[in-house]
Amino acid sequence: MHIHIVAGGPFEYIPPLEQEASQDDILWVGVDRGTLFLLEHGIMPAKAFGDFDSVTEEELCELKKKLPALNVFQAEKDETDLELALNWAMRQHPAHIHIYGITGGRADHFLGNIHLLYQGIQHKQNITLVDKQNIIQMFGPGTYEIKEDPDKKYVSFLPFGTSVEKLTLKGFKYPLKNCHIEPGSTLCISNELIHSNGTFSFHEGILIMVRSKD
């Protein structure tokens, strides 16, 4: 099972979801106005979370009629709407969690969503942030294979929080071997694979990987 979460937008940055919507092994989750987005695209969410302060009273009444699994929270709370949805999703132990509708708006929300990826490291859960231009993931120490994606040819790596130790990149245009990467370094921005696949590995730290296109 996979869980796909759609947050509150801006929706113009969400890639087409038609192919994923036809797959039976995906559970869809709406977050605040992202719930309306799903319904407008013919996708019935299994769950929905939020304070729904971004919808009108009429829209909220309609959501309550259509979705028995609507979870409405007070606006004053310790977690963001997305974190509430993500916490539920991780308790289901899916194979992967994809999150849409998290870029292009407020910078504080976007940076907070990047930090939510760290929960995936803590709970050993695969989480990916997706928009039309970028795929963002976070990794703990280990060795990982990466496959070529012609649509998003640029691959960038950034340390999260602390230094990354002994980063090695194989199969890349700019390879590295046992490199120390400090926070604030831009050494690993805009790399590219030169083969159909490659690997990256490191011994200590937390690494953000961004796959993107112009």
Q: 183 and 87, same structural domain?
A: no
Task: Residue 148: give the domain boundaries.
Answer: 138-212
DSSP-assigned letter for residue 16: P
Q: Does the pLDDT at position 9 exceed 90?
A: no
CB atoms within 10 A of CB 166: 16
Q: Are strands 47-50 and 70-72 parallel, antiparallel or unpaired?
A: parallel
Question: Sign of the C-alpha dihedral, residues 103, 107, 111, 113?
Answer: negative
For 17, residues 6+ apart whose C-beta sits below 8 A from its C-beta are 4, 6, 41, 43, 100
Choosing from 113, 132, 151, the residue where a domain stops is 132
Write down the mean pLDDT value for the chain. 92
pLDDT(205) > 90: yes
Examine the pLDDT at 76 and tell me if it is beyond 80: no
- Do 195 and 103 have their domain in common? no
Q: Considering only CA atoms, which of 213, 17, 49 is closest in space to residue 133?
A: 213
Same domain, 88 and 164: no
Do 162 and 185 lie in one domain? The reply is yes
148 and 199 in a common domain: yes
Same-domain pairing of 24 and 87? yes
Same domain membership, residue 155 and residue 81: no
Same domain, residue pair 44 and 61: yes
Whole-number pLDDT of residue 118? 94
CA dihedral for 83, 87, 88, 93, sign (positive or negative): positive
Whether residue 173 sits in one domain with residue 123:
no
Q: How many CB atoms lie within 10 A of CB 175?
A: 13
Return the CATH number at 182: 3.40.50.10240
Q: What is the pLDDT of residues 89-142, one digit of tens each?
A: 999 999 999 999 988 878 898 899 899 999 999 999 999 999 999 999 999 999
Structural domain total, the chain: 2
